[in-house]
Amino acid sequence: MIKVAFYDTKEYDKPSFEKYGKLHDIDFRFLETKLNEDTASLASGCEVVCVFVNDTVNKDVIDKLYENGVKLIALRSAGYNNVDVHSAFGKIHVVHVPAYSPYAVAEHAMALLLTSVRRIHKAYNRTREFNFSLNGLTGFDLHGKTAGVIGTGKIGRIFIDICKGFGMKVIAYDPYPQKESDIVYVSLDELFKSSDVISLHCPLTDNTHHMVDSSAIEKMKKGVVIINTSRGGLIDAEALLEGIKERKVGAACLDVYEEESDIFFEDRSGHILNDDLLSRLISMPNVLVTSHQAFLTEEALNNIAETTVNNIVSYYNKDGLCDNELCYKCGNIEHCKSDRKERCF
C-alpha cells in the first residue's frame, strides 16, 4: 500500500481522491494543515506528499521531507511556483497536474469579466432587497472591444476562443508563441497600450513577478479591465489599487492575490482581516475578488484526482517515466517535458 500525506485537505477534495486511491491501493492521510517547516514531520511514514497551491515547499521543507524518507511530491495543481524544484533535484521527484480543466479557469475568467462589466454582482444584491433601480448599473458591450491575453497556453487559448465568440478582437503576448495558430501576437507594451481588457494566463516566475506594476498600468488605456486568474504575484497589488484610485483602471477581477496563502480557501467572516491592501481592494465598487476558485468544477476535481493518482502510480513503476515530472536537470523545467525519455534522476 502506498501511503500519501495529503496536506491542506478540503471537504471537496476527499471523494474523488478516495475513489481513485482505492483503485490503486493508495492510503491518503488527509491533513487539514498546510505543509510548511513546522508541519513537514506529519508526513513521517509516508513516501509521498500531496500538496496544493498554498503549501510551502521551499528548500527547508524539502530537506525535512527528504530526511523523513519522502520520495515524491505530488502537486494537485498546474502551477508550481510554491515549489523549489531546484532544491528538490536529486532528492525528491516532483510531479504536477498540467491540465485538469483549462475550461474551468477560462470560463471563470469570462464569468468575472461579464459580472464586472454588466454589474451583475450589484444587481443581484439589489434585487434581493427588492431594489429594482438601474441607476449606476450601466455597463459596456464586449463586442468590438480588444482583449489582450498574456500567456497563450492551454487556458489562454480557450479564453481567446471565448472572447472571439463574443465578437472581441484579440491580441496576445507570449515569449513562446503558438506555432501555426491564427493568434495575433504583439509586444507586451503594445498589448498594454491597445487592450480594453487584459487577462493574465502565464505562470508566476522571476520574469513575470509584478509584470503588471505602476509602469505597466501607466501604459494602459483609461478604463482598462484587468483579470487575473493565474497567480497573485503577477500583479503589484499596491500599484493596482493606485490605478483604481486614480480612475485609470476601470475594473479588476481577481481570483488570486499575492498574499492569499493565509487568507483564501478559509471562512474568515467574523474575523478582522489583517490585510489592509486586500480589504481596500475588496471595498472598491469596481473590484471583484473570488477566492482562488477558478479551478473548482466537478470535472476539474475529478481530473485532478485521476491524474495525481496516476502520477503517483507511475513513480512506483520503476521502469518507466515519472508522469508529469517537473525536472530541474536542464534548467528548463517544463519545456523539455515532451522530449524526455527518462525520469529526472
Among 12, 124, 140, 176, interactor with ligand NAI by CB under 6 A? 176
**How many C-beta atoms surround the C-beta of residue 164 within 10 A?**
13
Active site residue 260: yes
Alpha helices (H) along the chain? 14-23, 59-67, 85-88, 102-117, 120-128, 154-165, 188-194, 214-219, 237-245, 276-283, 298-316
- What b/e sequence results for 91-115 when a residue is b if at least 16 CB atoms lie within 10 Å of its CB, and e otherwise? bbbbbbbbbbbbbbbbbbbbbbbeb
Three cell numbers written together for 118: 454588466
Three cell numbers written together for 29: 492521510
Tell me whether residue 51 is exposed, middle or buried, using C-beta atoms within 10 angstroms of its C-beta: 0 to 12, 13 to 18, 19 or more.
Answer: buried
Q: Is 255 in the site for ligand NAI (CB under 6 A)?
A: yes
Among residues 93, 157, 292, 325, the one annotated as catalytic is 292
Q: State the nearest-atom distance from the C-beta of 302 to ligand NAI, in Å.
A: 15
Question: Which is closer to ligand NAI, CB of 46 or CB of 225?
Answer: 225
Q: Is 148 in the site for ligand NAI (CB under 6 A)?
A: no
Q: State the nearest-atom distance from the C-beta of 334 to ligand NAI, in Å.
A: 7
CA atoms lying within 13 Å on the CB side of residue 126: 12
Q: Name the DSSP letter for residue 138.
A: -
Active site residue 29: no
Stretch that binds ligand NAI, among 17-25, 200-208, 307-315, 321-329 (CB under 6 A): 200-208
Is residue 66 within 8 A of residue 92, CB to CB? The reply is: yes
Considering only residues 74 to 133 of the shown chain, the ones binding ligand NAI according to CB under 6 A are: 78-79, 99, 102, 105
Stretch that binds ligand NAI, among 14-22, 83-91, 152-160, 307-315 (CB under 6 A): 152-160
Active site residue 18: no
Q: Is 8 in the site for ligand NAI (CB under 6 A)?
A: no
First to last CA, the chain: 24
Q: Is 201 in the site for ligand NAI (CB under 6 A)?
A: yes
**Best CA proximity match to 50, nearest among 92, 91, 89, 87:** 92
Residue nearest ligand NAI, Cβ-based = 153
Q: Is 52 in the site for ligand NAI (CB under 6 A)?
A: no
Stretch that binds ligand NAI, among 34-42, 203-211, 263-271, 279-287 (CB under 6 A): 203-211
Q: How many angstroms separate the CA atoms of 281 and 295, rounded?
A: 22
Stretch that binds ligand NAI, among 20-28, 212-220, 260-268, 292-300 (CB under 6 A): 292-300
Question: Which is closer to ligand NAI, CB of 172 or CB of 239?
Answer: 172
Q: Is 154 in the site for ligand NAI (CB under 6 A)?
A: yes
Q: Is 175 in the site for ligand NAI (CB under 6 A)?
A: yes
Q: State the nearest-atom distance from the C-beta of 146 to ligand NAI, in Å.
A: 17
- Angle value at C-alpha 80, between 74 and 86, nearest 5 degrees: 90
Which residues does the annotation mark as catalytic?
A: 231, 260, 292
